[in-house]
Amino acid sequence: MYPTLFTLGRWPVPTYAILLELGLTLGLLLTYFEGKRILEKGETALDLGLWVVAGGLLGGRIGFVLANWAIFGEDWTRVLRIWEGGLSYHGAFLGGLLGMLLYAGAHRQAAAPLSFWKLGDVLTPGLAVGIMFGWAACLMGGCAYGAVSEGFGHMILPDLFGVEAPRFATQVAGLVYALLLFVSFWLLRRHWPYDGAAFLMYVLFYSAGMFLLASTRGDEAVYLGPWRVSQGIDLLLVSATAVGLLIFWRRAREEATGSDTDQGISDSAAGI
């Protein structure tokens, strides 16, 4: 829509890159403050955020290049021109998840080991705001564009190459959904019942939404039958997080039941 924010002399400054950098900066800032609240160590959370950002950028670019192999195969120099747009959410998520796993593993032998699930909760608000700005960047830069068609929810929008057509406003829908999730999870950040609940719930809701929204997209993708590969990954994420939430819920319930039983025995003994 507005691929160039402004120019410095002869050099255009891409709107995509500015919005992406703004989202990463705000995400790291929220991660720092969540780290101070949850871990009582903002610097530790910031280090974690940098590991996740590095893994996310690398994984996101690799995923985007693989999904658009035909385009990059013609000109490999475009692989390095990340400022022009082009990050895969699923590649970024998996790369960032690997970064978080490596960071938690590196601190496993520390005097106070860091819980992987608690780290996930620390990252959740930053992840949510980063995804929100990612959709805004795609709207301005033309990536993740909708399929050409007409009717409700459609706008005249360009694709990644600047070709305008009546398309489903996929980026707008993704931006609104990401905004709603960010506001909801920010308001609930002090009310999750156990470590990992915020992270797993966010991945569950976002992945479910992206599975549905993917059917409106018109950009290049790898397909398995009628579905995009990304939709298959979304289904796996929804299933995995749902199972994880169920396991943690049952564990928390058993611990609460055990505590009540122990308290009852103690009260009986005191009565005797």
3-class secondary-structure state, position 6: strand
Per the DSSP assignment, residues forming a β-bridge with 11 are 8
Structure tokens at 226: 């009628």
User: Where are the chain's structural domains?
Assistant: 4-265
CA 35 to chain centroid: 18
Give Cα separations from 72 to 68, 80, 204, 222, 255 (angstroms): 7, 10, 32, 14, 53
Are 237 and 202 within 8 A, CB to CB? no
DSSP state of 214: G
For position 115, what pLDDT does the model report?
Answer: 87
pLDDT tens track of the chain, all 272 residues?
667 766 777 777 788 888 989 999 999 999 999 999 999 889 999 999 999 999 998 998 888 777 776 666 666 666 666 655 567 888 999 999 999 999 988 877 666 678 899 999 999 999 999 999 999 999 988 888 999 988 888 999 988 888 899 999 999 999 999 999 999 999 999 999 999 999 999 999 999 999 999 999 998 778 888 889 899 999 999 999 999 999 999 998 888 776 655 555 545 444 54
Structure tokens at 81: 């021109």
DSSP state of 193: S
In one letter, which amino acid is 125? P
| Angstrom distance (rounded) from CA 92 to CA 250 | 31
